[in-house]
Structure formats: structure tokens, C-alpha cells
Amino acid sequence: MTRAADWFEAHRERLQAAVEACRTRGYWSPFVESPSRRLWPEGAKQRGAEAFEALLGTRIELGLPGEVGWLGSEVSPFTSEPLGVRYPKVEAHALVDAMGEAWPAWRSATVTERVGVCLEILARLAADTFLHAHATHHTAGQPFLMAFAGSGANSLDRGLEALAMAWQAMAWVPEESTFERSFGRGPQVALHKRYRLVPRGVAVVLACGTYPAWNAWPALFANLATGNPVVLKPHPDTVLPVALGVRTCREVLQQAGFDPNLVTLAVDTWEEPITQQLLAHPLVAIVDFTGGQRFGGWLEANARQLVYTETAGCNAVVLHSAHDLDAVLRAVAHSLCCFSGQMCTTAQNVWMGAEGVRVGDRMVPPDEVMQRLVAAVDAWVAEPEEALAVCGAVHSDATLSAIEEAQAAGEVLRASAPIEGAGSARTATPAVVQLPASARSVYGKEHFGPIGFVMVAASFDEALACATRDAGERGSIASYAYATDGAVIEGIEDAFALAGASVGINLVRQLPINYAAAYSDFHVTGLNPAGTASLADLAFVADRFRVVQSKVEMPPG
Amino acid sequence: MTRAADWFEAHRERLQAAVEACRTRGYWSPFVESPSRRLWPEGAKQRGAEAFEALLGTRIELGLPGEVGWLGSEVSPFTSEPLGVRYPKVEAHALVDAMGEAWPAWRSATVTERVGVCLEILARLAADTFLHAHATHHTAGQPFLMAFAGSGANSLDRGLEALAMAWQAMAWVPEESTFERSFGRGPQVALHKRYRLVPRGVAVVLACGTYPAWNAWPALFANLATGNPVVLKPHPDTVLPVALGVRTCREVLQQAGFDPNLVTLAVDTWEEPITQQLLAHPLVAIVDFTGGQRFGGWLEANARQLVYTETAGCNAVVLHSAHDLDAVLRAVAHSLCCFSGQMCTTAQNVWMGAEGVRVGDRMVPPDEVMQRLVAAVDAWVAEPEEALAVCGAVHSDATLSAIEEAQAAGEVLRASAPIEGAGSARTATPAVVQLPASARSVYGKEHFGPIGFVMVAASFDEALACATRDAGERGSIASYAYATDGAVIEGIEDAFALAGASVGINLVRQLPINYAAAYSDFHVTGLNPAGTASLADLAFVADRFRVVQSKVEMPPG
């Protein structure tokens, strides 16, 4: 048995449990989401911190093909200090050429071997969670605890989910069959048929700057398991978490006797982007993209490759009624604060009717709702230490400008401000801005960052209509609604379903409401402009390989 | 229980058997492929003939939305007489608008109901096989027996196969789940989640002129089962078989209490094509196309919809060695003759090495192989009656011109000729033309019709290299090879797999070699220019619907 097949056996139960979790869609995870000392081996925390420190100011040696120099200019959003980490600069064509040379052995490896390699990579990434958490914290700007869960268990779960789906899709096709029949009055004919699962080609995975692993790992494993080599192209400001993942992939591939060039890294800069050069290579057959609607939409319309995107929308919150309005507003305010509104599931557009929000027998008027929403935001960021733990850092200066623009566009109910005592960190508490329902040119698109708009429509029905109209036409990854009445809840579910958008209802105690669970939540519907790739349905995996068959007539008798 | 759900129960075993057949991929069919009297109810044959006769010179009343007149100019390739059948001429936008109005009830029907309707349609189409055979015979030009199997069991099997795959893909997603976990030190949170399978929109199914049902039914059922209304756009010269299918769909839908406009017909003419008008409607989200590479390629590159194509390639036969060369050549000759070479699985390019073909200890030189191939073709068409039964009619005048062009391009080993005594039928026996291996500009594309090219390469290896190069770069739907040696066979399988093309090896007794079996053969790989849609893998169905979810936090306790 090969080493890769051994790994498959070692991790088989985990894989089978993941398949089961995808089918039943309850809560499950084989990974450890919390850094709590008692859940980790002695010294794991310190080793992770030390490993991160040791990387600073060094070169990440990957031995990539087509290396032509070094680059890297990441700056920690928390310390505002350069990390000083340098990565190989590669020549795109040479890189992909070498991946093409690595490909044949991977194409002809068994599904078991390929999935075994993927499972082992997942296990090693999991063991390195502390290191990945530091790397993500100091590049993406996520608060440390979020970085720990987000670059660790949560992303690994999405990766394992995609792997489990790919495995199931491949398992649908038998390796061979015997086909026997007669034609007309002719003799019985027997054909021996073989079905080969053939990958498409090199996959380019374009990761985002703020939450890189969560979409990159699913794409990585969906591609790798189905036989497609993967080049990971990180966001220029968030390279380290992706580079560390690539390093682990290459180690595992090599130990399994495969060419490490099946997984490579293509780092670029704002000044010299490399993506179009990668896409121009004839071997590149798949693109997985996470990022803004502009480039995502361009890819969807123009790339000759198979394209999977997660882009963005203008996620809504629709307020109808509540048992405990402050609990609702506390949850919504948390979504605005959480990682400074830089998640794809962050709420942006808060809608209510002019009649206000019903609480018991009372209609709470819009002005009061807004006031209490602002108070709820204030509460999350009142204590600097807690504020920093919830908001983390702002990934990019562009987001600070976006906040200013948003504040200039309407009535500022709450002004954004840096978090006091955050030192050199680039921080911003949420801006809450009231807009008229007619200001669709403002709220009808994503404003990335801690920016919440509040709109009062003529009525709740009108508010719901506006929110779902925008979800369908402008995009929504996660929208939210609050209502106490069963019929209203059903109406909300139907309206969002018709708009092709998912909705979370009455999420209050579950914090953060932004949370989307692997194996349980389908992430991105593909029915609105927020992307085409759903984590992780069969469509996410089924087209990454094709079936090529041969049939051989067997001698009679 | 609704009528549709009743139908599901009535046909449930058939559906489950189809799923099982897709997984094991042996021979299976619930439909009757032969018109043999003892397999059909008393009088079925005569009723079918009479039903066809009764249609001639009449209007097919479908009650379509957007009707603006009547058209139809089909001419039987066998009698050269107009059928005189008239179809509604529709205004594309009004047609699709009405389909949009019919959609909501179908969207919200259960999967069981939708699949039940599809199963019932299949059963009724099967009951009408004699009628469909006549309609296909007198429009496509297929020989009657082929029309019977091809418009009957074989196409229904492909339809049922696609339906079974769609059902399986949808069954992967549960209707609901309960998700329970705690966050940090917080209380246990429970979410009730609902997963809705949401269709994409109206599907336009563009059928071909020579074998319309075989690709149209799979697309029809894959779309309909997943909730997408379907407009069938037949080839202007082969409308009747498609129109009859649409009529049955509409009857069944109506009986189930659904709007019949969920399945419609858009007939057009060469002078006034309707396809682009259909594609311009914003509700149209899916296109299934069978036809030439030119329009298929345009759709693949330009349509904003989800596109599935089966186009064409230059299918090869590679000759290495044989135990019985005449049996091999008889099989290859049959492929050239069968329905006058107008099948997507027809062999076109016959390759061998300069060393000839090994038979036992002897190398049969190329000239002799060619001579015996010509003799084998001659044998199939020697008797006019048998010739007509094998070749059928030529669908279009354009094919007669294509034969002349092919004969002018190389050395004519066998000249095409009309079948003697075929009366008014448009017929042509195969042309066999020798070309140098360098004449890729001629043989490196599809020549639709009874046209075979023979090329002698420097060696067998070179011949295989040329055949697989063209399969990969120019397309192949079905290629063929003959070899007696196990290692050579494996080399052939590997070479075609690397080119992304399926291959049938040593098909001799199984006649016609052109035959591709539902549930067993994956048809079109999607890895070469002959199309993107494989009948029927998971990728053919998994993206036709999306999952939209809602999650509602459950009150504590």
C-alpha cells in the first residue's frame, strides 16, 4: 500500500463522518475551534507563537519552479510594522508548465490516494492552527480568537466538506462494468467497460485578503482531490497564511512520492498582478475566486475556464417584530462590529417599516429603534480591550476612505472612530448612517467595512420588498430578519427564496450571527450576483472532473 | 395525495432500477426497443401508422401562448413529399413570459411531484413509440427500425437516465435539519434549517435534425425534474417528433393540475430563426444544444446562460491488428453506412500505419486493407432493400454537396451513389476517400454524412498519435480501435484518455458499433471540442438547481 493510501485508511472514519454530516447537516467538526489550553497538547500555544516569530524577516523557501526573485510587503494591521516576510516571485508560464509536468502521476493516482493526501494535509494544517492564527491575525487583521477559529477549524471544516463532496461525486462512477446484451437475433455480446475520472487541468485559486483560508481551502481540496493541480494566488496583503498552507501541501505531496509542484504559490503585487498571466496559460482550466463583484463578474462573463466565484452583496437585516428588541439589536450590532464588518456575511442594510418594530403590543418607532441600535453598537465597543477583541483591525486604508464616503452619503447616526488605546492598530468602530429608501445608488452595493445603513420604508412589506429586490438584483450572501409571528416568518423565507438568497431568522443568542457552518449551511446560492459557487454542493465538485470511458468487446464464450 | 405524487408511486420501482443501473452501468432498459408484434399490445403497430397518417396535412394544436400564425415545411426524405403538418408560430418573448407565469407552482411543487410527472411523460411517450417512429422516419430520415429504437426506447432510456441522475442529485440535500451547538461559554443554541431546491429559470432545448429525441429528452427531463420550464426548439426540418413530445408533456402537466406552459414549442424557419430571441429573454437561464460545432462553440463562449452542448468531432478508427480483419472492416463499414453516416457516433477517419494491419503472422498491407474496406461497404449496400434499411435517407441536400466536396479532396476509393430502387428517397451510399496524413485541413473536422477518409501514417504509433491529436484538438464523440495485443490495447486506452476522448475497442459482433447505451456509456466527455454535456453524469444535472436555505433560531428549552 502506498503512503497516500495508508493516510486514507488512517483518516477514513473522519471522511465518512464528514459525508454523513453533509447529508444530515447538523453540527459536527473533527477540528478544535478554541485555543483553550486543555484542548491542545502541552506547549502548542507557545510553539505556534514562536514559529510565527521565527518567520518574521525571513524568506519562505518553497523551491517553486520559475522563481525569479523575492517579494513581499505585508504590514501587520495591528502593529503597523512590516512582517518582513519574503516569498518567491515566480514567472507564471514557467510555474504552470512545471505543474503540467507534475500532473500525469496525479492524474493516474487512485481516488483513494488523492483523497488520502488531502486528508493528511488537513490534519497537518489543523496541527498548525496556532501558527496559522498568528499569520492570519497579522495579515488579514482578524482578532486573534477569530483568526484561530477562522483560519483553523472553520476553514478546515469547509475544506473537509468540499473534499467529502468531491469524494462522493467521484464514488458515483464505478471503475468498470460488464455490459451484456444481444442485438436483434444476434448472439449475446459482452463489453468490458472502464470509466476513468479525468481532471480538467490546472486550477487557479484566487484568495481574498480578509478571510483567505475559508474559501481557498475548499477550492484547494475540491480541485486536488479530483486530480487538478492548484496554484494559490493570495491577496498581496495577505500572503503568509496561504504560503504556509502551500508549504504544508508540498511537504505532504513529496512524502507521498508525488511532485510537490502539484500545489504552488503565485505571489504578486498591486503594481504587477500575475492573475491574467496565469489565466492565459492553456493548461489552466479552472478558476476559483473570492473577492469583489467587479473582477468576479468579469471572470464569470469572460474567462474561458470553468469559473467558481464568491463575491459580495448588500446583505440586509429586516426588522418586523421581536420579543426582546435589545437582544435583536445587540446581535445586529455585533454583525456590524465583528471583524470591523469585513466578513462576507456582515449585515449592511438595516430595513424597517415606518410603523416601526412590534415588541409585544407596542410598536417601537423607527427613531427609537435607530437610537437603540446605535446604543447597542456603542455597548460592543465601549471597552477598548473588548472592542479590539470584537472588531480586530481594518485590513486596508481603502476601507477607512469607504467609511468616510458612507458617512458623507446620509445622516450619520453613529460616527466611526478609531478604537481608543489600540496603539498602532488600524481600527474603526462602525458607522451607522441613515439613508432614505430611495438612496439605492448608495446602499444597493457592498460597502466593505464597518458600515451600516438604516432605511425606513413606507411599511414592513415595502422594507422586505426592497431588501429582497436588492438581494436578487445586487447580491446577498447572508441576510437576516427578525419576526415573532409564524406567518410573517414564512413570508420572509418565501420572499428571500424567490430572490435566490438565504436568510437567517431571529438569530439572537447565536453569536456571531455572521457565522456560517460547514456541513450545515450552504454558503452562496448562485442565484444572485454574490457569486456562483456554493460551499459545498454537488455542483461545486461534479464538474471538476469528467468521465472518459473505454469499452472492449470480450471474446465470445 | 396529488396525481403527480400518485404517478411517482406508480413508477417508483422503475426510477429506483434506473438509479441502480446508472451505478452499476450494465445493460438495462424498461422500454421496448423492437417493434416485434409479440412485445406490443394487439394493434399497436397499426394504430401508430394510422395516427401518423392522420396528422399529415393538419395543424398540431398546442394552444401555446404567443401564437401569431402557423408554419411548417417538413418534407419526408423518403417520399420527397411535404408532410403538410403545420405548427404554431410563436412570438418568443410572449412565449417565455407565459412560461414565467406557469413557473411558481412548478418551483414549489415537491421533487416527488415533479419527478412523478416526468415518469408519467416517459411512460406515455413509450406507449406512442410506433407513432414517434413514423414521425422520426419521415423527418430525420432514419430507417424505420432505427427510428423505432432511436426515437423510442433508446431516447427514453437516456431521458430516464437523466431523470434518475437529477433525482439522485436532489436527494443529496435534505429538506431540513436541526443544528445545535454552543459558542464559547454560551448556552446551547438550536437552529431549524430549511433547504429549498430552487430552479434557475427557463431552459431552451435546441434539438438537432437527425436524431432529435436522443439528446432532447435527457435535457427535457433534467430541466423539468429540477424545476425549470422547458421550451423545445426543434430543427426546422425535423419538428414533428419534438412537437409530439411537447404535446404529451402538456397533456400530462395539465392532468396533474399544472400549467401546460411549463413545456412549450418554438418552431422556426431557416429564414427567421427564433433562437436568439429566446436567449435574449431574461428568464432564460439554461441552454441545451445539440448540433454543429460552430453554433455550439458560440454558445459555449458567449451565452450568458448555463450551457450544455453536444456538437461533433472527427471520430477515428485506428487499425492495429485483428483476428478476423473482414469482421473488423464489416463493422467499420457498417458505421459508415448506418443512417448514412449521420450519427454523432459515426466513424469518419480510418487510420493505419504504413506497415499495414497485423492478422495472425501476416501484415496486411494498407492497399489491401482499403480494398477490403471498400468491399465491406459494397456488401452492406449491395441489395437495395437492405441498403435502404441500413442507410435510411439523407436528411439534407447540404449533405449531398458535402459528399461531393469530400470526393474532390482526395483519392476516391469508393464513390458515393444513390441507392438503386430507392424511388423518391434522397439516398447516398458511403464515399471512401484516401487522404495523405498531412491533409489535416480536410479530415480534421466533421464531414456530416456517409463520408469516410482513410489515412496511412508512417507507422501505427503515428496513426494513433494523429487520431488522438485530432480527438483532443478537434473533437471526438466516439472513436474506435482494433488490436489483438493486450499491451497495445492498453496503450490505445491511455492515449485516448489523455486526449479526453472515449474509445470502443474491438467492437465487431456488437452491431451497430455506433450504439451508445444509456445507464452504461457516458456520452461526450466534455474534455474535447465535441461538447460539454455528458449523458448523463452528475455535472449534467447538479447545477440546474441551487440550494437556498433559511435558518430560524428556535426558542430555548
Q: Rounded distance, CA B270 to CA B106, Å?
A: 33
Residue A134, pLDDT score: 98
Question: Is residue B521 domain-resident?
Answer: no
Chain B residues inside the 8 Å CB shell of A198: 497, 500, 525, 527
C-alpha closest to that of A125 among A56, A38, A224, A200: A224
Q: Calculate how close chain B gets to A74, using CA atoms only, in Å.
A: 31
Environment class of A220 (CB within 10 Å of its CB; exposed 0-12, middle 13-18, buried 19+): buried
Average pLDDT value over all residues in chain A: 97
Considering the domain architecture, whether residues A212 and A357 belong to the same structural domain is answered as no
Residue B1, pLDDT score: 79
Interface contact flag, A497 B198, Cβ < 8 Å: yes
What does DSSP assign to residue B262?
G
Cβ(B393)–Cβ(B427) below 8 Å: yes
What does DSSP assign to residue B495?
H
Residue B76, pLDDT score: 97
- For residue A137, what are the CA distances in angstroms to A69, A423, B134? 27, 16, 71
Chain B residues inside the 8 Å CB shell of A193: 25, 520-521
Summarize the confidence of residues B506-530 as an average pLDDT.
93
Q: Would you state the cell numbers that stand for residue B225, as one nine-digit string? A: 425534474
Considering the domain architecture, whether residues B88 and B237 belong to the same structural domain is answered as yes
Summarize the confidence of residues B440-453 as an average pLDDT.
97
Q: Rounded distance, CA B122 to CA A194, Å?
A: 29
Interface contact flag, B537 A173, Cβ < 8 Å: yes
Considering the domain architecture, whether residues B195 and B243 belong to the same structural domain is answered as yes
Cβ(A346)–Cβ(A514) below 8 Å: yes
Which band of pLDDT confidence, cut at 50, 70 and 90, is reported for residue B557? low
Considering the domain architecture, whether residues B358 and B393 belong to the same structural domain is answered as yes
* Residue-number span of the structural domain to which B447 is assigned: 316-505
Q: Rounded distance, CA A310 to CA A295, Å?
A: 11
Residue A186: enclosing H or E segment and its boundaries? none
Q: Calculate how close chain A gets to B526, using CA atoms only, in Å.
A: 7
Question: Is residue A518 domain-resident?
Answer: no
Interface contact flag, B502 A550, Cβ < 8 Å: yes
Q: Rounded distance, CA A290 to CA A212, Å?
A: 8
Which band of pLDDT confidence, cut at 50, 70 and 90, is reported for residue B165? very high
**Count of C-beta atoms within a 10 Å radius of residue A24:** 15
Q: Rounded distance, CA B511 to CA B338, Å?
A: 10
Considering the domain architecture, whether residues A402 and A306 belong to the same structural domain is answered as no
Question: Is residue B343 domain-resident?
Answer: yes
Residue A185, pLDDT score: 82
Interface contact flag, A497 B27, Cβ < 8 Å: no
Summarize the confidence of residues A90-102 as an average pLDDT.
98
Average pLDDT value over all residues in chain B: 97
Cβ(B400)–Cβ(B428) below 8 Å: yes
pLDDT single digits (tens) A283-337: 999 999 999 999 999 999 999 999 999 999 999 999 999 999 999 999 999 999 9
Considering the domain architecture, whether residues B172 and B284 belong to the same structural domain is answered as yes
Chain B residues inside the 8 Å CB shell of A506: 552-553
Interface contact flag, B504 A27, Cβ < 8 Å: no
Chain A residues inside the 8 Å CB shell of B549: 502, 521-522
Interface contact flag, B556 A508, Cβ < 8 Å: no
Pick from A323, A328, A523, A543 the residue to mutate for testing the B interface (most B CBs within 10 Å): A543
Q: Rounded distance, CA A33 to CA A543, Å?
A: 31
Interface contact flag, A177 B25, Cβ < 8 Å: yes
Pick from B32, B185, B226, B510 the residue to mutate for testing the A interface (most A CBs within 10 Å): B510
Which band of pLDDT confidence, cut at 50, 70 and 90, is reported for residue A119? very high
Count Cα neighbours of B429 within 13 Å in the Cβ-side half-sphere.
27
Which of B174, B506, B548 minimises the CB distance to A502?
B548
Interface contact flag, B527 A550, Cβ < 8 Å: no
CA angle A19, A24, A29 (to 5 degrees): 60
Q: Would you state the cell numbers that stand for residue B195, as one nine-digit string? A: 433547504
pLDDT single digits (tens) B196-244: 999 999 999 999 999 999 999 999 999 999 999 999 999 999 999 999 9
Interface contact flag, B200 A527, Cβ < 8 Å: yes
Cis peptide before B450 (omega within 30 of 0): no
Interface contact flag, A179 B26, Cβ < 8 Å: yes
Interface contact flag, A551 B189, Cβ < 8 Å: no
- The span from the first CA to the last CA of chain A, in angstroms, equals 35
Cis peptide before A536 (omega within 30 of 0): yes
Summarize the confidence of residues B532-542 as an average pLDDT.
97
pLDDT single digits (tens) B391-400: 999 999 999 9
Question: Is residue A99 domain-resident?
Answer: yes
Chain A residues inside the 8 Å CB shell of B557: none
Residue A135: enclosing H or E segment and its boundaries? helix A129-137
Residue A187, pLDDT score: 86
List the single residue in B with minimal CA-CA distance to A508.
B553
Which band of pLDDT confidence, cut at 50, 70 and 90, is reported for residue B185? confident
- Each residue of A523-544: b (16+ CB within 10 Å) or e? bbbbbbbbbbbbbbbbbbbbbb
- Torsion of Cα atoms, A253 then A256 then A257 then A263, to 10°: -10
Q: Calculate how close chain A gets to B143, using CA atoms only, in Å.
A: 15
Q: Calculate how close chain B gets to A506, using CA atoms only, in Å.
A: 6
Cβ(A226)–Cβ(A306) below 8 Å: no
Chain A residues inside the 8 Å CB shell of B24: 174, 177
Q: Rounded distance, CA A124 to CA A127, Å?
A: 5
Q: Rounded distance, CA A295 to CA A290, Å?
A: 9
Task: Cell 488537513: give the residue.
Answer: A122
For chain B, what is the domain count? Answer: 2
Interface contact flag, A553 B508, Cβ < 8 Å: yes
Interface contact flag, B546 A556, Cβ < 8 Å: no
Which band of pLDDT confidence, cut at 50, 70 and 90, is reported for residue A557? low
**How many percent of chain A have pLDDT more than 90?**
97
Considering the domain architecture, whether residues A43 and A28 belong to the same structural domain is answered as yes
Considering the domain architecture, whether residues B197 and B244 belong to the same structural domain is answered as yes
Summarize the confidence of residues B302-329 as an average pLDDT.
97
**How many percent of chain B have pLDDT more than 90?**
97
Count Cα neighbours of A465 within 13 Å in the Cβ-side half-sphere.
9
Q: Which residues, 6 or more positions from A352, have their beta carbon under 8 angstroms from its beta carbon?
A: A318, A319, A320, A366, A369, A454, A455, A456, A457, A460, A463
Summarize the confidence of residues B147-156 as an average pLDDT.
97
Q: Which residues, 6 or more positions from A207, have their beta carbon under 8 angstroms from its beta carbon?
A: A213, A215, A216, A232, A233, A234, A235, A238, A242, A290
Summarize the confidence of residues B271-275 as an average pLDDT.
97
Question: Is residue B329 domain-resident?
Answer: yes
Chain A residues inside the 8 Å CB shell of B194: 493
Q: Rounded distance, CA B451 to CA B376, Å?
A: 15
Considering the domain architecture, whether residues B379 and B455 belong to the same structural domain is answered as yes
**Count of C-beta atoms within a 10 Å radius of residue A301:** 10
Residue B108: enclosing H or E segment and its boundaries? helix B92-108
Q: Would you state the cell numbers that stand for residue A34, as one nine-digit string? A: 478554541
List the single residue in A with minimal CA-CA distance to B501.
A548
Q: Is the pLDDT of residue A345 over 70?
A: yes
C-alpha R_g of chain B: 25
Order across the sheet with B188-199: list the strands. Answer: A411-414, A431-435, A451-457, A349-353, A316-319, A479-482, A503-505, B545-553, B188-199, B176-182
Q: Rounded distance, CA B338 to CA B336, Å?
A: 6
Q: Is the pLDDT of residue B26 over 70?
A: yes
Question: Is residue A92 domain-resident?
Answer: yes
ipTM of the complex: 0.96
C-alpha closest to that of A160 among A329, A306, A327, A12: A12
- Between β-strands B411-414 and B362-364, what pairing exists: parallel, antiparallel or unpaired? unpaired
Q: Rounded distance, CA A553 to CA A188, Å?
A: 11
Cβ(A111)–Cβ(A167) below 8 Å: yes
- Looking at residue B221, its amino acid is F
Q: Rounded distance, CA A518 to CA A525, Å?
A: 14
Summarize the confidence of residues B257-272 as an average pLDDT.
97
Chain A residues inside the 8 Å CB shell of B191: 507, 510
List the single residue in A with minimal CA-CA distance to B520.
A179
What's the CATH number where A459 sits? 3.40.309.10
Question: Is residue B378 domain-resident?
Answer: yes
Interface contact flag, B25 A174, Cβ < 8 Å: yes
Q: Rounded distance, CA A125 to CA A159, Å?
A: 11
pTM tops 0.90, yes or no: yes
Considering the domain architecture, whether residues B343 and B471 belong to the same structural domain is answered as yes
Order across the sheet with A545-553: list the strands. Answer: A176-182, A188-199, A545-553, B503-505, B479-482, B316-319, B349-353, B451-457, B431-435, B411-414
Q: Is the pLDDT of residue B361 over 90?
A: yes
Chain B residues inside the 8 Å CB shell of A486: none
Q: Calculate how close chain B gets to A469, using CA atoms only, in Å.
A: 16
pLDDT single digits (tens) B49-61: 999 999 999 999 9
Summarize the confidence of residues B473-489 as an average pLDDT.
97
- Looking at residue A529, its amino acid is P
Q: Calculate how close chain A gets to B543, using CA atoms only, in Å.
A: 5
Chain B residues inside the 8 Å CB shell of A24: 174, 177
Residue B479, pLDDT score: 97
Cβ(B514)–Cβ(B346) below 8 Å: yes
Q: Is the pLDDT of residue B511 over 80?
A: no
Residue B556, pLDDT score: 79
- The span from the first CA to the last CA of chain B, in angstroms, equals 35
Question: Is residue B527 domain-resident?
Answer: no
Cβ(B427)–Cβ(B418) below 8 Å: yes
pLDDT single digits (tens) B109-145: 999 999 999 999 999 999 999 999 999 999 999 999 9
What does DSSP assign to residue A36?
-
Considering the domain architecture, whether residues A202 and A321 belong to the same structural domain is answered as no
Which of A25, A34, A507 minimises the CB distance to B177?
A25
Residue B14, pLDDT score: 98
Environment class of A241 (CB within 10 Å of its CB; exposed 0-12, middle 13-18, buried 19+): buried
What's the CATH number where A19 sits? 3.40.605.10
Summarize the confidence of residues A94-118 as an average pLDDT.
97
Considering the domain architecture, whether residues A160 and A276 belong to the same structural domain is answered as yes
Pick from A168, A300, A547 the residue to mutate for testing the B interface (most B CBs within 10 Å): A547
Summarize the confidence of residues A514-542 as an average pLDDT.
97
Summarize the confidence of residues A496-508 as an average pLDDT.
96
Helix A144-151 / helix A153-171 crossing angle, nearest 10 deg = 10
Chain A residues inside the 8 Å CB shell of B34: 184
Q: Calculate how close chain B gets to A106, using CA atoms only, in Å.
A: 13
Residue A556, pLDDT score: 79
C-alpha closest to that of A554 among B470, B114, B504: B504
Q: Rounded distance, CA A68 to CA B465, Å?
A: 36
